Chains A and B, each alone.
Chain A
C-alpha cells in the first residue's frame, strides 16, 4: 500500500502571518517536494507551480451544520496533489494547506475525515495556528473564528513579536493555553525556531504535547469558551467510552470545539491518542507504553458553554452501565408491537 501524503494545515486570523510562515518554510529548503494549497485566491506570493488554488466554497451535507460541511474545493485540490505525488520524478512528498484568515478550519478537517478517498491517501500530521503578537489578543477577544482556529491547533506560532506594540509572549501564551491547553506555543522570532521541523513532524499525537494539557484548566476571557480536563480510570472500557463519546458529539458536537486525550483501554496494550474536532473524530493513534510512561488517562475538552461537571457525570454513568454485568451481557429483544401500542395509547 502506498504511503499517505502527509498534510499540515496552517490556520490563523487575517494578517496573522500565515503566508510568511509558509514562505519561511519553503525558503528554508522545504520547497522541494511540498505542494501548497491556499484557501484564498490572491495570495500568490509563492512559486505558482506549487500552488493548487482552491476557491472559497462550502458544500453542505444533508442536514449537516457548517462544521460538517465538506469543502469540495479543498478535496479536489488535495486529489490533484496526491495525483502529482504519485507521478515518478516530480511528485510531492508533503502538502500544506493555508486556510483563509476568516475560515473556521473545522470543515477542512471534517473533509479529511469524511472523504474515504482522502482518508486513504492523505494523513493529517498537524494543525498549526498562527497568532500575531500585535493584534492577536484583540482578534481572540473579538472573533469566534480566531478562537476556533486556535482551539483546533496542535501548535501555535506567535509571529510579529519583534514589532512595536507587540504583546509579551508570556501573555499570549496564557491566553492561547486558556483556549487550547494542549497546544505547544512557539515564538517565530526565536533563534531556534525552525519551520521545517514544525511542518515535517507529526504533532497530532505528540505525547509531549498532550502532557502539556495538564498545565491549564481555564476559562477564557470570553466566558462561553472554556476548557477542562477529565481524569479517566486506569483502564477505560473502550466500547463504553466510544458509545458515550459518539452520542455526546452527535448531540453537542457544535459546542465541543475540540476533544483530545490519551486513553489506556480494555481493548489493547497500547495507549490511544484520541482527537476530534466538533462532530468529527479521527481514528486514534496507538502509542507504545514506553512513550507514555506514568501519564494517566485523560480527555481534554475545549467547549463553548459546556460545564465539566455534567460531562464528567455523564461519562461516569456510561462507564458504570458498562461495568454492570447485566447490561454488558444481555442483548435485549426488540420491544413487542403490543407493548408499543400500549405506550402509544
Chain B
C-alpha cells in the first residue's frame, strides 16, 4: 500500500501480472486486482488448512500466514507463502503428493 495516499498497489511478483497494466494509470483496474487477490487467498486458505494454517491479506500486497497458536509469518509475495507455511507447521505442501491432493479436496 502507498503510505502517502493509502491506495493499494498491485504487487510486483510475476503472479501479479495477469492483466496488462495501463502505464499511465497503473491501478485503473484495481477492482479487478482485488477480486483476483481475494480468490487467491480463498484458495490458499483451503490448501493451508491441511497444515492447520490460514492466510490473510496484509497491506494489500503481502500476505500473513497464521497458525492456531497465534503465531504469524509475513509472506511478501506468493512465492514466500510456502516457506512461511513450512516454518510455522514444520511440514511442506507438495502439490504432486496424491495424499495432499486427496486431503485438500476434502478440506
Contact = CB atoms under 8 A, between A and B. Distances in A.
A284 interface: yes
Contacts of A202: none
Interface of A: 237-240, 242-244, 246-252, 265-268, 270, 272, 274, 276, 281-284, 286, 310-311, 313-314, 317-318, 321-322, 327-337, 339-341, 343
A267 B19 contact: yes
Contacts of B20: 268, 270, 286
Contact of B18 (A242, A317, A337): A242
A286 B21 CA distance: 10
Interface in B66-93: 66-70, 78-79, 81-83, 92-93
Given A252-B96, A328-B42, A333-B54, A246 B82 contact: yes
Given A238-B36, A248-B95, A329-B42, A268 B19 contact: yes
A335 B17 contact: no
9 contacts: A247-B93, A251-B92, A251-B94, A267-B18, A314-B96, A317-B104, A322-B43, A328-B39, A337-B70
A286 B20 CA distance: 7
Contacts of B19: 267-268, 270
Given A251-B93, A284-B17, A311-B96, A335 B49 contact: yes
B18 A321 contact: no
Contacts of B31: none
Contacts of A327: 42-43, 46
A267 B36 contact: yes
Given A328-B42, A335-B52, A335-B53, 4 more contacts: A247-B47, A250-B83, A283-B12, A337-B70
B46 to A, nearest CB: 5
B92 to A, nearest CB: 6
The 8 closest A-B pairs by CB, nearest first: A267-B18, A340-B68, A242-B15, A268-B19, A239-B40, A250-B82, A238-B18, A286-B20
Contacts of B62: none
Most chain B CB within a 10 A radius of its CB, from A276, A334, A337: A334
A240 B68 CA distance: 25
A311 B95 CA distance: 8
A328 B14 CA distance: 21
B68 to A, nearest CB: 3
Contact of B105 (A244, A313, A321): A321
A243 B44 contact: yes
A243 B14 contact: no
A191 B95 CA distance: 48
